[in-house]
Amino acid sequence: MWLRVNTIEHLESIDFDRARGALIGAAAGDALGAPYEFTRPGSDAEIIPKGGGAFGWEPSEWTDDTAMTVAVARGLLAADALTDHGLNAVAQEFRVWLSSGPKDVGRQTKVVILHGGSTAQSMTEFARTKVDRGAGNGSLMRTAPVALRYLTDAVHCVSAAMQISDLTHPDPHAAQACAMWSYAIRHAVLLGDFNGPHQYLDEFATPSERGFWGELLRRAEHAGPTDFRNNGWVVDAVATAWWAITNAPGVHEQHLAGVLERAVRAGGDTDTTAAIAGALVGARWGAEAVPAQWKVDLHGYPGIDANGLAELADSLVEKSQVCERVSRSGT
């Protein structure tokens, strides 16, 4: 039987380090994978956040994956994403980020932000009607803040994850992946284990979704690093991240570093798969498990570092708790 946590008593004693780990772990994976994007590193290649790559990243600089994660976090701090105002805030943060001139932007994401209009509703509708291929991994890479903002309510976490995914990625697989991964990150922060994906399927998925994603997770647990080559597709991105998490040995820092290295060695969209894996493994082991030098060197849009990510994580958790107290008081 899965253990569920939805009570304020648990949340008031939240492990903030695990919450910080969700964002810092994602950024660490992103920066580690950036130099190797579109390649498949050899088994003897040293995997370090050395910079370079296709877009000339600085050492330990994060990419659009973490930049958009920050944008989601800022939007969620401005307003509840389950309201029009809140979704508009997220959409506006996407536009602010794009106007900063990032080195790399996913083609689909760029088209939607540029031409999708000024509201979340118009952006979602544009993505739904104008985007031919909406099942990329670009919404999954940015979903971690949703877990922290909705720690008090699993239903709201799942709903918000899907709606934020739909802003740019209309395919149901993208929304389902974001819901499952956000739930899993939330679960890891609250309970410190990796049971979240399977629990999500038990509690929220339809029978067909449960069959599809459950089989994918089982395959990934027994797969090899080259079994999911198309990891720019959200389904293979989930599989790559879950394979890395379930096959890396050790605990705490050893496990976290091993997960990220495996995700990068799998090749392909290395920054994104490592960011996706990093969000969940970071939520499980906490920011303290991220190698110290990686944390010192991490940096990126909008001119912040690991401390800035930690502050965002703390603010999201505090926002979640404040909203829960207001909801319980009826005011």
| pLDDT band at residue 18 using 50, 70 and 90 as cut-offs | very high
Q: Are 324 and 290 in contact (CB under 8 A)?
A: no
Q: Is residue 126 part of a domain?
A: yes
Give the CATH number of the domain where residue 45 resides: 1.10.4080.10
Range of the domain at 292: 8-329
Residue 231 pLDDT grade (very low, low, confident, very high; cuts 50, 70, 90): very high
**Is 3 a member of any domain?**
no
Residue 8's pLDDT band, with cuts at 50, 70 and 90, is very low
pTM, rounded to two decimals:
0.95
| Cβ pair 34, 57 in contact under 8 A | yes
Alpha helices in the chain (DSSP H): 8-11, 16-33, 64-78, 84-99, 107-115, 120-130, 144-149, 154-166, 172-191, 196-204, 207-221, 234-247, 252-265, 270-285, 292-297, 306-329
Indicate the number of domains in the chain: 1
Average pLDDT over residues 278-305: 99
Please tell me the distance from the alpha carbon of residue 61 to that of residue 220, in angstroms, as a whole number. Answer: 29
In a domain, 18, yes or no: yes
Span 50-109, pLDDT tens digits:
999 999 999 999 999 999 999 999 999 999 999 999 999 999 999 999 999 999 999 999
Residue 304 lies in a domain: yes
pLDDT at 12: 61
What would the mean pLDDT of 100-126 be, rounded to a whole number?
A: 96
Identify the pLDDT of residue 271.
98
In a domain, 2, yes or no: no
Q: For the chain, give the mean pLDDT.
A: 94
| Angle subtended by helix axes 270-285 and 252-265, to nearest 10 | 170
